[in-house]
A and B are shown apart, each in its own frame.
Chain A
Amino acid sequence: MTKTDTTTPPSPVGESVPRLDVLEKVTGAAIYTDDIPFGPGLLYARIKRSPHPHAVIKGIDVSKAEQLPGVKVVVTGDDFPKRIGLYLVDKHIFARERVRFIGEPVAAVAAVTEDIAEKALDLIEIDYEPLEAVFDPVYGASKDAPLIHPDLGEYEVPNFIFPQPGTNIANHFKVRRGDVENAWKDCAKIVTAEFYIPHVQHVPIEPHVAVAKFDDDGTVTLWAASQSPFAQRNLIAQSLGISQSDMRVIAPFVGGGFGCKAGVTMEALPVAIASKVKGRPVKLLLTREEEFYTNFVRQALVIKLKMGCDAEGNLVALHNTMYWDGGASTEYGVNITRAGGYNSTGPYIFQNVHTDSLCVYTNHPIGGAYRGFGMSELHTGIEQCIDMLAEEIGMDKVEFRLKNCVKTDDIILTGMTMHPTGLSECIQKVAKAIDWGQKKKPSSPNKLRGKGLALMWKAPSMPPNAGSSAEVKFNEDGTITVGVGGQEIGQGTFTAMAQMVAGVMGVPYDWVRVRGPLDTRYSPYEWQTVASRLTWSMGNAVVAAASDARKQLLDVAADHWEENPDDLDIKSGKIISYVSEREMSVKEVGVYGLPNENFEGWKGGPIVGRGNFMPTYVTNLDFETGQGERAVVHYTTGAQAFEIEIDKETGKIEVINAASAFDIGKAINPELVKAQIEGGIVQGLSSAILEQMILKDGAMQNPSFVDYRIASAVDIPFNHHIDIVEVPQDDGPWGARGIGEHPMVPSAAALANAIYDATGLRLEGPPFSSEKIYLAMLDAGMVE
């Protein structure tokens, strides 16, 4: 385990120091992928996409497109026979034989201008024979549904994903704990409910963009807006059959990720095209319309719940069936399904659990990772059911949650023992902040007022051995450059890493630099910037590297002074001896070493600290029961509450007050943590009130910012009370856990519970638009 007790004050760890990257970002100097110039040799790619949700490709004629002046190459699926995929290897870069969703790449053109490339697309002739399509995951999972992947049994798959060949089920994750069927008789109250959480899109303000170039020496370079340069290097190199060392990914600042720039998304397209025009860089910049439905989406969920408790209000049994609308192929979807399964109780303890979490192929866009990784969708179901059951048994909803929520040392649904957690404290804090139990009158007779609360838990969902590495190097002036492979996507990770290095090394924060672009040729390995894992995992690697560099510094100084390194320390950039009271600046030692007396030789040399971290304790889960010793590394837990008013004449929700509390172990930079929580709750409310990809026969009806609204500055005037709870993580740097995704996980659920409190109505699912609420009130006879 890494040591974080070496910090000596004044340490910036736990302080809200300013971000490292702000000057670049406010002056326009920060470089994003689309800002990099590639010179006059640059080719522009455009993609010919499927207009059908499901069809056989009978023939493709590219001859006319190839003849258009300015067109350099036209490619189709025939050029790229190998499959690609993050977990289940189930798709082609360009469709082969059949298309499976509207927007699927079928062919592509690279030309000297974008206009020519666009014109050439119209000259590509494709003959399709439409097939029956599947748009409903429940139907898709049934025996009656047409098969979308008849070859499912032949696909490569890792040992923790369980596809069901001969069906549309790409993964079936089960939890079987206790005896649910017999447990219902022990229940005093049972509730059942079904919810539908629709598709939403990530909507980073920076669209996806990637540039690829093949050089004659066999190297391939990809410049991309990327959360995952190393994962992209690995998957693309494998798909091309080249060495990872010949595949280079350069990833500058990312203009918002939220999961959509993780794994390999559209980057494989320019790489494939560039392989046919060696020596020329090929750029693909998605239009905003393409951004909406050709990229990975947050897959929809149908969740069917049955939940029971005894007469004292102790939760007894849960039956949870989830149908995830995985889309045309599964990328992250199969693992979201797995995460949905092994977290399927939400942060509650049931002795009897029966969960089936199914990832179902449909002819919808492909499901990918989205902030929360299935947890927002799952909790939107679970937390409403908890509310309903509390009401049935006649208990206060906060009291019911405090009684049943997961606590330190509880055995959770997978059989894992819960580590120390401050969830109960989070509940109490939000309840207090929102004046739980005090019912206020609406501000006008035309309004209804209510409060709602929801809890959450989320673990990093990742392979058991996802690793991090880091290096700490000195510059001639004594400043320190930290090498990391995790990406700055807005969350502030470069800043947090610099704080940790300064904290371990005893140097001022402003001596430390963490800068992009990430470059797989030079940056230390990092699995991916996903799963809210960097503060914890990359942080551990950075702490180890800084500790290593610190030790090297102290060894040189001790040698020089002929003292014991254990008697030395570093404070405010000075190496000091507690024995001799001598001191010197680390700047004197960092690069040039120290001269011996009378300059008879030297000692030391450029200091390079190195460190890594990989969790070694995660175990696999049994296929039939979902049981295992330790399913995940840890859980960040929390609670959120809203007080709202609903306008009876319009159905519009106004959030009056909000409260959030999360147990993140340790806030390395409290203001950055609060900024994550503020941004997350607004993204959560935006998805809960405004957002839905309207899919009709597989075609998105609203692929623009006008028709797919996200929260804007006028949508957010509410008071938001934030509490940070710090129950330390045993293997986190200073005890830290992640907070990137969590703030939006409980938002839709808490809002749904507030809507119920105000109106007595439970809707099928978000978005809780004014129209939907008004119509529901009309149906219920509450308004005329």
Chain B
Amino acid sequence: MTVHTITVNINGEDELVEVPGHWTLLQMLRYRMGLTGTKNGCAGGECGACTVMLNGAPVNSCMVLGVECDEAEIITVEGLSQDGQLDPVQDAIIEAGGVQCGFCTPGVLISARALLDRTPNPTEAEIQDALVGNLCRCTGYVRIIEGIKQAAKLQKT
């Protein structure tokens, strides 16, 4: 088991991380960096609870090796708010009531942020498509979708 030392920017901070070669990015974030906001729901790339932004694109962090992230930029749920100011997607999902058990929420928020970064005014269908990889068993998605619609409006103002 080879341990690699990589440089990675996580939530705006440059970090030097020692990561075993077979570890996923999810394992690296949770076990090395203490960033437990990113959740493990299936470890198979199927549920989206572990979604993070890797160089601006949403990925299932359970399907990426940690060592692949050398020189990469990663944003996790912990990095969405800045100086105590919530990101509009966080504010809006609270306002819409789109949080229940909260286990899918970090992944949902990252997918939403990535969507609004590339499509500031998404249609409902585009929101649904962006969330298709984020399974939620509690909410029925109704208020999550509503929240993302509101976030798009919020960030314009």
Contact = CB atoms under 8 A, between A and B. Distances in A.
Contacts of B35: 28
Contact of B140 (A19, A207, A671, A681): A681
B52 to A, nearest CB: 11
Interface string B68-100: 000000001110110000100010011101011
A704 B46 contact: yes
A441 to B, nearest CB: 25
Contacts of A35: 30, 36
B24 interface: no
Given A28-B36, A288-B41, A704-B44, A713 B102 contact: no
Nearest to B78: A28
A440 B39 CA distance: 45
Contact of B104 (A24, A205, A285, A287): A205
A253 interface: yes
Given A675-B100, A710-B137, A716-B142, A27 B81 contact: yes
Main SS class of interface, A? loop
A713 B100 contact: no
Interface in A173-222: 202-207
A1 interface: no
Nearest to A709: B135
B135 A710 contact: yes
Interface string B131-142: 111111111111
A18 interface: yes
A258 interface: yes
A70 interface: no
A473 B31 CA distance: 36
A675 B98 CA distance: 8
A711 B34 CA distance: 31
Interface stretch (A91-99, A154-162, A429-437, A484-492): A484-492
B103 A255 contact: yes
A582 to B, nearest CB: 39
A254 interface: yes
B49 interface: yes
A210 to B, nearest CB: 15
Contacts of B90: 26-27
Interface of A: 18-19, 21-32, 34-35, 37, 202-207, 253-258, 285, 287-288, 489-492, 671-672, 675, 678-683, 704-706, 710-714, 716-717, 720
A744 B155 CA distance: 35
Contact of A678 (B41, B43, B102, B143): B143
Contact of B143 (A30, A37, A675): A675
A287 B109 contact: no
Contacts of B106: 28
Category for how many chain B residues contact A: 35 or more
A46 B49 CA distance: 23
B134 A34 contact: no
A253 B37 CA distance: 13
Contacts of B134: 712-713
Contacts of B124: 717
Contacts of A716: 140-142
Contacts of B42: 207, 288, 704-705
Given A26-B90, A207-B40, A256-B101, 4 more contacts: A27-B90, A205-B101, A256-B137, A288-B43
A713 B97 contact: no
Contacts of A25: 99, 102, 105
B46 A714 contact: no
Contacts of A255: 39, 41, 101-103
B102 A30 contact: yes
B128 interface: yes
B139 A675 contact: yes
Nearest to A705: B46
Interface of B: 30, 34-44, 46-47, 49, 76-78, 80-81, 86, 90, 93-95, 97, 99-106, 109, 124, 127-129, 131-145
B86 A26 contact: yes
B101 A678 contact: no
A491 B103 contact: no
Report which residue of B37, B104, B129, B140 has the largest number of chain A beta carbons within 10 angstroms of its beta carbon: B140
A708 B140 CA distance: 17
A490 B36 CA distance: 19
A29 B81 CA distance: 12
B100 A490 contact: yes
Report which residue of A255, A257, A287, A491 has the largest number of chain B beta carbons within 10 angstroms of its beta carbon: A255
A679 B140 contact: yes
A22 B103 contact: no
Report which residue of B34, B38, B46, B137 has the largest number of chain A beta carbons within 10 angstroms of its beta carbon: B137
Nearest to A19: B99
Contacts of B81: 27
A26 B93 contact: yes
B78 A490 contact: no
Report which residue of B80, B95, B135 has the largest number of chain A beta carbons within 10 angstroms of its beta carbon: B135
A419 to B, nearest CB: 29
Given A205-B104, A679-B100, A720-B142, A28 B137 contact: no
B124 to A, nearest CB: 7
Report which residue of B109, B124, B138 has the largest number of chain A beta carbons within 10 angstroms of its beta carbon: B138
Chain A to chain B: the 5 pairs with minimum beta-carbon distance, closest first: A28-B37, A255-B103, A490-B101, A682-B140, A25-B102
A713 B132 contact: yes
Contact of B39 (A205, A489, A491, A720): A205
Contact of A682 (B36, B93, B141): B141
A21 B142 contact: no
B42 to A, nearest CB: 4
B154 to A, nearest CB: 14
B147 to A, nearest CB: 10
B28 to A, nearest CB: 15
A205 B49 contact: yes
Contacts of A18: 94-95
B39 A32 contact: yes
A31 B30 CA distance: 12
Nearest to A225: B103
A458 B131 CA distance: 33
A206 B39 contact: yes
A26 B140 contact: no
B142 A29 contact: no
8 contacts: A18-B95, A21-B99, A27-B80, A205-B41, A206-B49, A206-B103, A288-B47, A704-B44
A679 B139 contact: yes
Nearest to A34: B40
A672 B100 CA distance: 9
Given A28-B106, A288-B46, A672 B135 contact: no
Nearest to A23: B94
Contacts of B99: 19, 21-22, 25-26
Contact of A204 (B44, B103, B133): B103
A746 B58 CA distance: 37
Given A25-B102, A26-B86, A490-B100, A712 B135 contact: yes
A682 B134 CA distance: 15
A21 B102 contact: yes
Contact of B138 (A30, A256, A288, A714): A256
Contacts of A683: 137, 140
Contacts of A720: 142
Report which residue of A25, A30, A205, A716 has the largest number of chain B beta carbons within 10 angstroms of its beta carbon: A205
Nearest to A492: B100
A155 to B, nearest CB: 34
A22 B77 contact: no
A704 B105 CA distance: 21
A714 B47 contact: no
Contacts of B142: 678, 682, 716, 720
B38 A205 contact: no
B106 to A, nearest CB: 5
B23 to A, nearest CB: 11
Contacts of B141: 682, 711-713, 716
A22 B105 CA distance: 10
A678 B139 contact: yes
